Amino acid sequence: VNGLQARTFGIWTLLASVIRCLCAIDIRNQTLYYITLFTFFMALVHFLSEVFIYHTAALTIGVMAPLMVASFSILGMLIGLQYLEVEALSQNKKKN
């Protein structure tokens, strides 16, 4: 890893954390919710590809931890998405 790659990964991680914090503040914003969910999918795909496609990482605790966080976060957000959609439907019924 050179300095440029380390800084790029650092900025990517910072951007993902800002998006996730904004979603935690405004969890009813569907667009932001989908973007946040997408960041977890990107992280999961990234780490899985490093392990199984590029073979640049081994399945150690340092790789397993982000894989587990991304997986459980995706699962939790997909469950939460059902409630978010139901709430949006009930808000639309109240307006009509």
Torsion of CA 53, 54, 60, 65, to 10 degrees: -70
Higher pLDDT, residue 82 or 93: 82
pLDDT for residue 91: 82
- The pLDDT tens digits of the residues spanning 52-92 come to 999 999 999 999 999 999 999 999 999 999 998 888 888 88
Rounded-to-integer distance, Cα 31 and Cα 22, Å? 11
- The pLDDT tens digits of the residues spanning 13-62 come to 999 999 999 999 999 999 999 999 999 999 999 999 999 999 999 999 99
Rounded-to-integer distance, Cα 79 and Cα 96, Å? 27
pLDDT for residue 81: 94
Give the chain's count of helices (H) and strands (E). 3, 0
Rounded-to-integer distance, Cα 16 and Cα 41, Å? 11
Rounded-to-integer distance, Cα 39 and Cα 94, Å? 32
